[in-house]
Every structure is written in structure tokens, then in C-alpha cells.
Amino acid sequence: MSQLPKCPECGSAYTYEDRGLFVCPECGHEWSASQVDEQVTGVVAKDANGNFLQDGDSVTVIKDLKVKGASNPIKQGTKVKNIRLVEGDHNIDCKVDGFGPMKLKSEFVKKL
């Protein structure tokens, strides 16, 4: 179950999603999910399932990923904690156990 954002107008925590928009039942304000992510982080990243990623999230690698210069790939199911979103093609900056600092593409991970 994902956390819905608070209303940017009145700060209400009782928002709900309706046909791709977030709606506040208290003040009636409607806004899109892309507006929320751009306001919060400036970087919009979605995982393989379409869930929005944020700094500090934990993710799981969904397929074996070859690493240049390493003899072994990052195996499917590897958990990565405390990710950081960055601009660019590889939009996740993280530290993978056994490999060290790494940049990953968000399309090859899923949010825990």
C-alpha cells in the first residue's frame, strides 16, 4: 500500500486518487502525480511497476545486471537500501553490498 501525498493547498492527509488525479475532500483541490514528484524532489523516477520512487526508499533488483569490470553480476532479488535520485540516464545512486557505490536505472528495480 503506497502513501498518498498531503494536499498542497490545505495540508490535509485525507487525499484520495481518482482517475490519475489526487483529490482533497476537504478543500476540493485536484492535482496530478507528476506535479507532486516535481515539487518534492525535482527528479521523477518510477520503478518497473510504475510506483514513484523517493530518496531513502529501499528497492529490489528485478533481473541480473552485468557490471562492467566485475566478474559477477548483481543478482536478481538483491536488496538496495537508502537510494538517492539523481538526474541522468542512470537515475538511482546507491551502494550495493558486495559491489560498492553504483548507479542504476529505475526500470530495473521495484520498490519494497
**CATH number 1.10.10.10 given to 1-41:** no
pLDDT tens, position by position, 15-74 = 988 888 889 999 888 888 766 555 554 677 889 998 888 888 999 999 999 988 888 999
CA 89 vs CA 10, 45, 51, 69: distances in Å: 35, 11, 18, 20
Residues of the chain with CATH 2.30.30.40: 58-111
Portions of the chain given CATH number 2.20.25.10: 1-41
Burial of 109 (0-12, 13-18, 19+ CB in 10 A): buried
Distance between CA atoms of residues 40 and 85, nearest Å: 12
CATH code for the structural domain at 58-111: 2.30.30.40
Residue 102, strand partner residues: 94
pTM beyond 0.85: the answer is no
- pLDDT digit string, tens, across residues 70-102: 889 999 999 999 999 988 888 999 999 888 999
Q: What is the DSSP string of 67-102?
A: -TT-SSPBPTT-EE-S-EE-SSSS-EEEEETTTEEE
